[in-house]
Structure formats: C-alpha cells, structure tokens
Amino acid sequence: MKSTEQSKKWKGKPDATGHFGIFGGRFVPETLINALDQLTAAYRSLKRDRKFQKELAYYLAHYAGRPTPLYEAQNLSRALGRGLRVFLKREDLCHTGAHKINNTIGQGLLARYIGKKRIIAETGAGQHGVAAATTARLFGLSCDVYMGAEDIQRQALNVYKMGLLGARVIPVYSGSKTLKDATNEAIRDWVTNVDTTHYLLGSAVGPHPYPAMVRDFQSVIGRETKMQMRKMTRTLPDIMVACVGGGSNAIGFFHPFLDDRVKLIGVEAAGKGLNTKHHAASLRKGTIGVLHGMKSFVLQDPNGQVQLADSISAGLDYPSVGPEHALLKETGRVRYETATDEEALLGFHLLTLLEGIMPALEPAHAIGYLARRARSFPRASKIALCISGRGDKDLEVVRHSKMNSRSAH
Ligand SMILES: *Cc1c(COP(=O)(O)O)cnc(C)c1O
C-alpha cells in the first residue's frame, strides 16, 4: 500500500486540465471544447450549491431509494471460511435495479439547472438507456438514446422499456454496431445540438469533466458504505471489491476510501480467458491510447484499431476504462484482477443459493473472484463488496449457459 502522504493528494484529482496523471484530458473536436468548459463551470458551481445538493439528496432518497442497505452475508462468509466477513453494498435495490440511477439523477438534475431540455445518452445493453429515460421522465426532459443495431437485436426488453418511457432509441449501424459506435454517434449529436442538449454519459469515462463528475455522483455508494461499516463494525473494511466496466460503480465505491488503509480490488471481465481475444480486461491487457475523448488503457491492436471487448455481462463489455482507474493502477493504489465468464456464472449461482440474492452478471464477477481467492485473504478480513445491480436482466443468459445451479452446488 502507498503511504498516506502520497494518497492524500488524491482528493485534488483530476488537475485543472482534467488529467489524472497522464490519463484523461479532452480529445474531442474543437466545437466541443466550449461546451465542455461550460459544463465544467456549471458542475463546479453546482457542487457547492446548497439548493442543488439538497434537491439531489432528496431524489436519491425518495426516488432512487437511498441509502441502500449494507448487508452482512453470513451464509456466504461461512462458506468462504477463514473467519472472513463479507458485507454486500446493495445497489441492486436501487430504482431501475442498478447504481446507474445515481449518475442519471445527478446529471438529469444538472441538465435542468443549466436549462437544457433534451438529454442524449449512449447505451450498450440498455441499462444506462433505461436509467436515462427514467430520469428524463422524472425531470420532464426529452430523451434520445443511441444504441448499436446489434445491441438493439439482443436487448429487446430494454428497448421496449425505453419506448414505454417515452425515449427515442436511435439505431447505430456503423462499425461493430455496439456500444463504442453508439458512443461515437452520441458525441456527434452533441457537437450539433450542444445549445439545447446535455449529453448524459453513463460511466466514469469520456472527456473532462465526465470522469470526475460521474465519480462524484457515484461516490454516494462509498460514503454510505463508510458510515454503515463504522456503525456495524466500528471500523472500516480491510478489503473492498467491485467490478470494473467503464469503472463508475467501482470508483464511486472506492473513492471515499482512497486515503484510508483499505485494500482496494477492481475486477475486470476476463471473458473466455485473458489469453484469448475474447475478454474486456482493458487495464490488465490494454495499452495506452485514446478513445471517446480520453486517454486511458484501450484494447487495441498495434495499429491503434480498437478491438471488440467480449464478456458474458454486457455492462463490462467496453474496450477501455475510466482514466482515474488507469492512474490508480499505475500508482498501485488499486489492484486490478479479473474473473472469467465461467467464474461470474459461478458467482451468480453461489450468491443466489447461499443468500437468496440474484446479482447482475457484472458484480457476479466480483463474487466469482472472491470465491476463487478467499483462501489467500488474511484470516478474519472484513470484505465490502459492491453488488452494482440485480440479476433479472441476465436470466436469459444464465438459463442458456452450460452451468446450472446444480453444478454450482
Ligand atoms: C453498467 C453496469 C456495470 C458497469 O459499469 P461501471 O461504470 O463499470 O460501473 C456494472 N454493474 C451493473 C449492474 C451495470 O448495470
């Protein structure tokens, strides 16, 4: 672990130009720089605006259902042995079923304060699209969601939900017809309609100020966890574990603990294995590059062509990662590990059978990692793990996988 001296500086990140060390920044067309400057200024002032913060807290409590419980999973803990105590942060109990609503409420409210009547969003599996469309209803905004044509085919239910919520889903036919192409289209739309439109980005990625702003909106997860751990155990956790796609639930969970003596572990999707091309482990296997307006680790070939990410969980299926994670990896403050599709399925069944909690396949990676590595953790460690969302959306995938609950037993 790094000395407190070094990690104390974390509070000031990113720097004034939006850099986390060499990562982050703004790699966007000239026409967006002004919009990003305006957004940065608006966000900076709303961060200190008592009325905005009070309203945000109100919607998080009364609409999204916060604080979410911290639950000591005693059955899982017993099964892992070694006197380990596992505490689950239950983001699966948020309205719309995942942590994403924390960010969409924050940015939706911001859009209202700065007088933007329209939001646009990108979505892969449709989870962020549904959260954005939900928030648009709450705040009376119109909402267009860019989604790859391939993903539209695969995620019919979420497309239907967005329709019910009055959002327009715009199919993207370019490239691989998936999330990264949808993100490019959303950025393009924003360039054209920046006067009327707020781009509601779904993870702690993209050009400054998005990574810092999304982190701040998601940090409510970590702040609550800190208070709840203190109340339940009188101490902080020894170890914290969260899954990493773009990295928003993990950075929100970790951020309030960066200056504490807590071991932090991010779990990326190893898909069919790190030695195949079928994974989404951008921190473990990527190289430094530029994607979606930021410098970070990117899965790319030697010519800089972005590779397709692959994971059983759509939410982790992104070929890059937020710039703050890139720096946390470089400084060694957070350790980044992986879990395969198979380990995620195992994690899903384990939590379902032991605790009666069906996690989304994204946090099931964190459970799968924990199950594999528990033996190497110090005895009696207190482990806080973020269940970023619920499993309903993934049941078709689980049903058609080879692993059933019997083989998990
Ligand atoms: C979208 C999603 C993720 C991945 O996004 P992050 O920005 O890495 O948090 C993880 N879990 C769930 C349940 C999701 O819906």
Q: How many residues does the chain have?
A: 409
- Pocket, ligand 1, Cβ cutoff 6 A: 98, 100, 127, 203, 243-250, 315-316, 360, 362-363, 388-389
> How high is the pLDDT of residue 1?
44
Q: Please say if 122 is a catalytic residue.
A: yes
The string over 323-349, giving b where at least 16 C-beta atoms fall within 10 Å of a residue's C-beta and e elsewhere, is bbbbbbbbeebbebbbbbbbbbbbbbb
Rounded to the nearest angstrom, the distance between the alpha carbon of 271 and the centre of ligand 1 is 16
Q: What is the pLDDT of residues 350-399, one digit of tens each?
A: 999 999 999 999 999 999 999 999 999 999 999 999 999 999 999 999 99
Give residue 269's identity as a one-letter amino acid code: A
> How high is the pLDDT of residue 7?
44
Please say whether the dihedral angle defined by the alpha carbons of residues 187, 291, 312 and 394, taken in this order, is positive or negative: negative
What is the DSSP pairing of strand 70-72 with strand 85-90? antiparallel
For ligand 1, mutation pick of 362, 386, 395 (most atoms within 8 Å of CB): 362
H helices, E strands: number in the chain:
18, 14
CA dist., res. 341 & res. 337, Å (int): 14
Q: What is the mean pLDDT of residues 133-154?
A: 95
Neighbours of 365 (CB within 10 A): 37
CA dist., res. 178 & res. 172, Å (int): 8
Question: Across the beta sheet with 287-291, what order do the strands follow?
Answer: 19-20, 23-24, 294-298, 287-291
The catalytic residue among 13, 89, 100, 393 is 100
Q: What is the pLDDT of residues 297-308, one digit of tens each?
A: 999 999 989 998
Q: What phi, psi does 145 have (nearest 5°)?
A: -120, 120
Q: Would the pLDDT of 406 be above 60?
A: no
Nearest in space to 367 (alpha carbons), one of 69, 80, 67: 80
Rounded to the nearest angstrom, the distance between the alpha carbon of 123 and the centre of ligand 1 is 11
Q: What is the pLDDT of residues 33-72, one digit of tens each?
A: 999 999 999 999 999 999 999 999 999 999 999 999 999 9
| Token pair recorded at residue 234 | 């009188």
Q: What is the pLDDT of residues 261-271, one digit of tens each?
A: 999 999 999 99
Protein residue with least CA distance to atom 3, ligand 1 = 315
**402 DSSP assignment:** S
Which ligand 1 atom sits nearest the alpha carbon of residue 124?
Answer: 1
pLDDT class of 155 with cuts at 50, 70, 90: confident
Rounded to the nearest angstrom, the distance between the alpha carbon of 315 and the centre of ligand 1 is 5
Q: Please say if 100 is a catalytic residue.
A: yes
Q: Please say if 231 is a catalytic residue.
A: no
Q: Which residue has the tokens 């990108």?
A: 122
> How high is the pLDDT of residue 407?
57
Q: Would the pLDDT of 4 be above 60?
A: no
pLDDT class of 408 with cuts at 50, 70, 90: low
Rounded to the nearest angstrom, the distance between the alpha carbon of 316 and the centre of ligand 1 is 7
CA dist., res. 308 & res. 169, Å (int): 22
pLDDT class of 8 with cuts at 50, 70, 90: low
Rounded to the nearest angstrom, the distance between the alpha carbon of 339 and the centre of ligand 1 is 15
Mean predicted lDDT score pLDDT of the chain:
94
Report the percentage of the chain scoring pLDDT > 90.
89
Q: What is the pLDDT of residues 241-292, one digit of tens each?
A: 999 999 999 999 999 999 999 999 999 999 999 999 999 999 999 999 999 9
